[in-house]
Amino acid sequence: MTLANKYEIEHNKMNYISTNLYRKMINHALYEGMTPDDFIDLPTPIDSIDKIQVVPANHFFELHEILDKALGPGFSVRIGQQMKMEDYGVLGLSWKTCSWAGEIFERSERYFKLLSNTYLFKIEKDIETSRVFLNRDAYRRGIELSNEATLSATVVVLRAMTESDISPVEVSFKHAPPRKLDDYTRAFNCPILFNQPQNYIAYKKEDLDMRTAKADESINRFLVERVEEEEKGIELSANKIVFEVENLIKDALPSGIPGVEQIGQIMGMSRRTLTRRLSENNLTFRDLIKRIQEEVSKDLLKNSTRSIAEIAFETGFSEQSAFSRAFKNWTNQSPAEFRKIE
């Protein structure tokens, strides 16, 4: 059995890539001077990508190889710098509701574990540094280039989320260095190592603990409301509290089921205070979790084309089977049965 065949068997569930990424690469190559005629022989033709949602992974890796030869070393890093969160589909959309920068890696780890049973991303932390390992071994050059693009995209995504200029402290690749490093140096702004045992990107732990811009906005709003409550002696209505908690739970679910302490901290309330305020509406925190999980899953099953595994991810479940059991308890139907009903 060849290494390539072994890889295909072990990664069977990861054999397709979103057309968003495929299209983005082609569009940027055109921007850099290539022409449509240069793509006539693509295994997944340009004129077909608007009609499909995914392309075979090997077609994607082959495109990386074609562009690397045509546009020279660094195209993979340059295209990584053009990526936006929405380019990554459900996973990317989930990043927009992260509370802190490093949460994108925790969500990515959950996502790939749930959808493919592999730890594509793995996080290791020490006192000062967090290393995010990209566990995708390369049996062809296109995967090496895709790994470069993934880590390059990480840099711009984290900057967009935090609205800051944070940079990694080190980047490591298993493969050999390219002929020129100019694009790599500009993209990563840190030491870049090649021919290493593992692929990873490392950040200062304090940078990955940084609140996202969205979280800062939410926290500031809640804290202002708490100060007004104390100064004016007028409590926020129980209904408003419930509404805010529901929104925070919905944002947090892609990272797993949040705790009452986590939500209370964002709202500037102790666990005891938040529990009391919910009880004014005859609700418990667990009641709200279940309600939001059910509402979100029903909405996504009816109004989106997301897979059941993706919906399980978005509603906080660690396994698709656990989501399916819970959904059947809520509705007496499986998710697939519910989706079929008009």
The answer to whether residues 111 and 186 belong to one domain is yes
Scanning 127-181, the segments in alpha helix (DSSP H) are 141-162
CA nearest neighbour of 275 among 265, 266, 285, 267:
285
pLDDT of residue 232: 61
Close Cβ partners of 84 (under 8 Å, ≥ 6 residues apart): 92, 157, 160
The string of pLDDT tens digits covering residues 312-321 is 999 999 999 9
CA nearest neighbour of 258 among 327, 326, 321, 315:
315
Question: Is the CB of residue 139 less than 8 Å from the CB of residue 246?
Answer: no
- What's the predicted TM-score (pTM) here? 0.84
The answer to whether residues 321 and 269 belong to one domain is no
The string of pLDDT tens digits covering residues 95-108 is 999 999 999 999 99
pLDDT of residue 50: 86
Domain range for 142 is 3-208
Burial of 323 (0-12, 13-18, 19+ CB in 10 A): buried
The answer to whether residues 22 and 168 belong to one domain is yes
The string of pLDDT tens digits covering residues 60-78 is 999 999 999 999 889 999 9
- Choose the final residue of a domain: 191, 208, 225: 208
The region of weakest confidence among 95-99, 112-116, 191-195, 233-237 is: 233-237
Question: Is the CB of residue 18 less than 8 Å from the CB of residue 54?
Answer: yes
The string of pLDDT tens digits covering residues 15-53 is 888 888 999 999 999 999 999 999 998 989 888 888 888
- Choose the final residue of a domain: 283, 310, 329: 283
The string of pLDDT tens digits covering residues 221-275 is 766 766 666 666 555 566 788 888 999 999 999 999 999 999 988 887 889 989 9
The answer to whether residues 60 and 76 belong to one domain is yes
- Residue 143's CB: how many other CB atoms inside 10 A? 20
Domain count, the chain: 3
- Give 228 or 126, the one with higher predicted confidence: 126
DSSP assignment letter at 190 = S
